[in-house]
Structure 1
Amino acid sequence: MSDRLGDYHGAVGWIEIKQADGSWNQRPATRIYVGAGEGSFQSIPVTVNREAADVRLVSCLQDGASGSPWNCNRKIISGS
């Protein structure tokens, strides 16, 4: 996750793995927050256990580590 803009807002993101029952499981269990300013970056390695699963990337703006995500964008990467 990176914060590419000097707009005084932090960035938060997470990935979700589509389960066999159609629900989405957030991985890692916590979100990755980056609030150190323009050009800051943080990563956490994640293992996807379910082969051929769709993965949904979620990125949002967030003010402060305990703030609420807003202005979110989502992108699904097909596992098939």
Structure 2
Amino acid sequence: MAFVILAPCETEKAGECATVCPVDCIVEGTDQFYIDPDVCIDCGACKAVCPVDAIEEEYDLTPEQEVYLEKAEAFFANE
């Protein structure tokens, strides 16, 4: 399981999540931050510090939010 960064990050990009991640799986993209689902250890540190509540667990996503998991997977596939 992994965490996923959602729509509120697209306008905020605060970055606290990247600084607290113990495995450095959060990377800044041009439009938002992304969590590498293959590296995330599901510790929840990022979710706890996100000032815009933009981070959810992969299995708690609504069907409308699943596009953000797909965006993250595509981002890291092209890296």
TM exceeds 0.5? no
When you count helix as a share of all residues, which structure comes out higher? 2
Structure number with greater Rg is: 1
TM-score if structure 1 supplies the norm length? 0.26
TM-score if structure 2 supplies the norm length? 0.27
Higher relative contact order (CA 8 A, sep 6+): 2
